[in-house]
Chains A and B, each alone.
Chain A
Amino acid sequence: MSFRDTILQNVRNNQPSSRELPAIPKFHSEQPVDLKKQFTAALKELYGEVVTEPPADFEEFLRKRYPDAKTICSAVPEYAGNRVPQDFTRWSDASIIDVTIVRSPLGVAETGSVLLSEEEFRVNTIGFLAHDIVILLDPAEIVENLHDAYGHPHFLDKAYSLLMSGPSGSADIGGITVHPAQGVMTLTVIFWPRAQNETTRIV
């Protein structure tokens, strides 16, 4: 028997007796919740930033915010940029990207997280190797908490799905979050409703 079979057989033999799963309580707030406000506050805690309206001139907005950015990779129809994710089929090449622009299908107010997968990224590394990331999010697609979020079909359908919550950081050093760690330096979410002709996902 291989080690693999030995381990798995051991696990089967040693299973503790099963018991009924508990009922899952409702975790929603009883008071009406301002999801946009809560999302913004939660993301701020993780050093991410929210822009509440789509900028009138997006080009200008990017130039002001990232004056040194040369390579802008856009995975959204709202803005062309000068590169598309498909340019980075060799995954490590994405490290030359200054700013990545992508749309998230879901925001979580409780944690300030946005959901992303290979469908949005197309090439996953554009979300990690870029210097900065801008994420478009339809405020109508914000849910209250993580329990709601895990109802999203991405978690079943996609090979890789990610809850991204603020710029990269590591908390292993003296209980303090150190920025940046191993991903983007800044993360900006823009509340930007989807265009009419785009299908809106129902959670």
Chain B
Amino acid sequence: MLSRSALGSPITQLTSHFRRPREGTEMHIILVDNGRSSRLGMEKFWPSLKCIRCAACMNTCPVYRRSGGLSYGSTYMGPIGIIMMPTFDIRRYSELPFSSTLNGSCTNVCPVKINIHEQIYAWREVMEEKHQINLVKKSAMIVAGKVLSNPTLYRMAGDTMEASLKVLPRFAIYSQLNAWGRHRDIPQPAKETFHDWYKKHRSQATGQETNP
């Protein structure tokens, strides 16, 4: 199962089964807990213990594929890391559950059927309950929630942003507030939005292409 979900090969070259010590010798099994036995008692989160470390969830994750493993800042990365790491240190990994689009692709490919995206959502609720979300993020989320749920407002915000990006001087765009811009350039704004393009090229009634 591991090899099939990791590399796509039918089986690992050597699949060993140890039942007891070889004659005349001893066999030692070392238990490493590291919080796992407590996680077993967490009603919503114990299924993450089923993980066999195949990394199928990472390979399919649109966030992981673009950001890479180091960006998670944790031992376990990708979707499985998001739901595992907060059980080790909830404060340190409080932001991880938000690095997801909740598209569910991870759950879909998981060979041991861990409900990863549902757990990511549940972790967000835990972070809210336990006040692990900082004020800036929280206020930004509230504003984003309002803007994203209202198409007119959303478009207005988009237009304003685009227009201001064209005219604002560099020092204003790359200010202290722009965490993204601290290490890299922001992408060039597009000439027109998809929405504008769609209005121009398709008639509303039939959805057929019209000549511009």
Q: Are B37 and A175 in contact (CB under 8 A)?
A: no
The stretch of B2-10, B71-79, B87-95, B199-207 in contact with A is: B2-10
Q: Which B residues from 5 to 22 make CB contacts under 8 A with A?
A: 6-7, 9-22
Q: Are A165 and B41 in contact (CB under 8 A)?
A: no
Q: Are A14 and B38 in contact (CB under 8 A)?
A: yes
Q: Which A residues from 159 to 202 make CB contacts under 8 A with B?
A: 159-169, 171, 175, 177, 181, 183
How many B residues touch the partner, as a band?
20 to 34
The binding surface of chain A is classed by DSSP as: mixed
Partner of A45, one of B9, B14, B18: B9
Q: A74 contacts the other chain (Cβ, under 8 Å)? A: no
Q: A67 contacts the other chain (Cβ, under 8 Å)? A: no
Q: Are A158 and B19 in contact (CB under 8 A)?
A: yes
Q: Are A177 and B37 in contact (CB under 8 A)?
A: no
Chain A residues closer than 8 Å to B196, beta-carbon distance: none
Chain B residues closer than 8 Å to A45, beta-carbon distance: 9-10
Chain A residues closer than 8 Å to B142, beta-carbon distance: none
Q: Which 10 pairs from chain A and chain B are nearest by CB?
A: A14-B41, A10-B37, A14-B40, A163-B15, A111-B11, A111-B10, A171-B7, A161-B17, A7-B33, A159-B20
Chain A residues in the interface with B (C-beta under 8 A): 3-4, 7-8, 10-11, 13-16, 42, 45-46, 110-113, 118, 124, 128, 146, 155-156, 158-169, 171, 175, 177, 181, 183
